[in-house]
């Protein structure tokens, strides 16, 4: 009977040691997986911070380009207004120098034609300028979209 009790005690002891070893292994595995998950989360957070920093830099660059574009457009508008004032002043002087109504109407017709042509040319020039500047303003943002698409592509 003593042998049976010793054998049972030995079996219980072996079972307890085995259970303890398995529990230790289980908790070591959980600990290792938790550490790996934390490291992945940290890397993801760092990557997200870098990505957001790039987005902010793109917005700042876009704003800088937009400010420069507004300055350029303002300068063009001022130059156009100056030219139009000079042209109109010259036309009014020529109207005053007309000697006959026919000559007056001819000068007025010539001025109207040149003013219309000038408006068409300026509108075309402004359209080209706006399209070019819009492309330049949105280029940094477009580049960030490309980076985001690449990140999504590699993550998938």
Based on the structure, what is the number of domains in the chain?
1
Is the pLDDT assigned to residue 1 strictly greater than 70? Answer: no
Range of the domain at 10: 2-155
Q: Tens digit of pLDDT for each residue in 129-142? A: 889 988 898 899 88
Q: What is the pLDDT of residues 17-68, one digit of tens each?
A: 888 888 889 888 888 888 888 888 888 888 888 888 888 998 899 999 999 9
Give the C-alpha separation, 144 to 56, whole Å: 10
Exposed e or buried b per residue across 124-156, where buried means at least 16 C-beta atoms within 10 angstroms of its C-beta: eeeeeeeeebeeebeebeeebeeeeeeeeeeee
Query: d(Cα 39, Cα 118) in Å, to the nearest integer?
Result: 65
pTM above 0.85, yes or no: no
**CB within 8 Å of 108: residues ≥ 6 apart:** 95
> Which DSSP category does 73 fall into?
H
Q: Residue 80 and residue 77: Cα distance in Å, rounded?
A: 5
Within 10 Å of residue 77's Cβ, how many Cβ atoms?
12
- Residues 85-126: tens digit of each pLDDT: 999 999 999 988 889 999 999 999 999 999 999 999 999 998
What pLDDT score does 108 carry?
93
């Amino acid at each position: 009977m003593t042998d049976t009790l010793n054998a049972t005690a030995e079996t219980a002891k072996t079972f307890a040691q085995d259970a303890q070893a398995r529990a230790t292994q289980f908790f070591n595995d959980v600990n290792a997986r938790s550490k790996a998950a934390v490291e992945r989360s940290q890397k993801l957070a760092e990557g997200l911070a870098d990505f957001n920093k790039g987005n902010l830099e793109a917005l700042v660059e876009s704003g800088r380009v937009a400010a420069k574009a507004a300055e350029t457009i303002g300068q063009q508008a001022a130059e156009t207004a100056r030219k139009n004032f000079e042209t109109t002043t010259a036309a009014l002087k020529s109207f005053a120098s007309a000697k006959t109504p026919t000559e007056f109407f001819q000068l007025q017709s010539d001025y109207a034609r040149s003013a219309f042509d000038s408006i068409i040319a300026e509108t075309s020039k402004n359209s080209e300028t706006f399209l070019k500047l819009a492309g330049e303003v949105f280029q940094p943002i477009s580049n960030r979209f490309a980076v985001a698409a690449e990140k999504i592509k590699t993550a998938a």
